[in-house]
């Protein structure tokens, strides 16, 4: 995906281990080397700021998307090639989804998880067919992967849903997946139960 727009969701914390910052720097560099554009949450703190600075340092373009109330706190990434200010978080996420060709999650907190779950849900509902990758640095996302498997084995989601997201152990593996990605053929989310004679919905 050279020349494409990569949406990166990640932590805004500066208190996390340095290994996560190393991954953010590597990711930003790789986006730039691919002549790509980073689309991110528009702040200058934590992994968000790190991946943006690394992208620009190596010649890549950066598009920040930040809600107005966050900009008012003085944490906007002012050096962005384009800084989009939205009215709220919902508009921010919709803008990032529309502007991106692929989605990558660095380790993060509640906000990162919520953003990625929405992207997965939209893909499940056939609203997009873009690649979705969790960067599982130091097994950070291993518990989430186990939860996803639990949801599938308990029939809250179909087995085919494994095809709509990917866990990669490092940056090179993430881009190998993206480079080789082909949109999966998707069944409908809803299944008809022959025994119950009614539609069951897989929970989100």
Q: Has residue 195 got a pLDDT over 90? A: no
pLDDT at 1 (0 to 100): 59
Q: Has residue 198 got a pLDDT over 60? A: no
Count up the domains in the chain and report the number: 1
Mean pLDDT of 90-110: 97
pLDDT at 3 (0 to 100): 73
Q: Has residue 185 got a pLDDT over 90? A: no
CATH at 135 = 3.40.50.450
Mean pLDDT of 90-118: 97
Radius of gyration of the chain (CA): 17
Domain extent at residue 170:
5-201
Confidence of residue 199 (pLDDT cuts 50, 70, 90): very low
Q: In the predicted model, what is the mean pLDDT of the chain?
A: 92
Q: Provide the token pair at 182.
A: 């082909």
Instruction: For residue range 35-91, list pLDDT tens digits in order.
Output: 999 999 999 999 999 999 999 999 999 999 999 999 999 999 999 999 999 999 999
pLDDT at 193 (0 to 100): 54
Q: What is the DSSP string of 2-59?
A: TT-EEEEE----SSS-HHHHHHHHHHHHHHHHTT-EEEE--BSSHHHHHHHHHHHHTT
Q: How far is CA 144 from the centre of its chain?
A: 14
Distances (CA, A) of 104 to 45, 85, 116, 198: 18, 21, 8, 37
pLDDT at 2 (0 to 100): 60
pTM score of the predicted model? 0.90
Q: 173 exposed, middle or buried (CB, 10 Å; 0-12, 13-18, 19+)?
A: middle
pLDDT at 204 (0 to 100): 46
């Amino acid at each position: 995906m050279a020349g494409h727009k990569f949406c990166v969701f990640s932590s805004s914390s500066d208190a996390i281990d340095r290994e996560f910052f190393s991954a953010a720097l590597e990711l930003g560099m790789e986006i730039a080397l691919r002549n790509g554009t980073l689309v991110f949450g528009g702040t200058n703190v934590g992994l968000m700021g790190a991946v943006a600075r690394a992208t620009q340092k190596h010649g890549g373009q950066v598009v920040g998307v930040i809600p107005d109330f966050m900009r008012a706190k003085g944490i906007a990434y002012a050096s962005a090639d384009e800084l989009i200010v939205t009215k709220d978080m919902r508009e921010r996420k919709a803008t990032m989804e529309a502007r991106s060709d692929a989605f990558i999650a660095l380790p993060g907190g509640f906000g990162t998880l919520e953003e990625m779950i929405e992207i997965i849900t939209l893909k499940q509902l056939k609203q997009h067919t873009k690649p979705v990758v969790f960067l599982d640095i130091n097994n950070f996302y291993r518990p989430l992967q186990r939860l996803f498997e639990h949801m599938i084995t308990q029939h809250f989601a179909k087995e085919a849903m494994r095809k709509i997201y990917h866990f990669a152990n490092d940056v090179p593996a993430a881009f190998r997946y993206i480079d080789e990605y082909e949109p999966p053929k998707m069944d409908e989310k809803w299944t008809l139960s022959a025994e119950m004679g009614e539609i069951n919905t897989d929970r989100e």
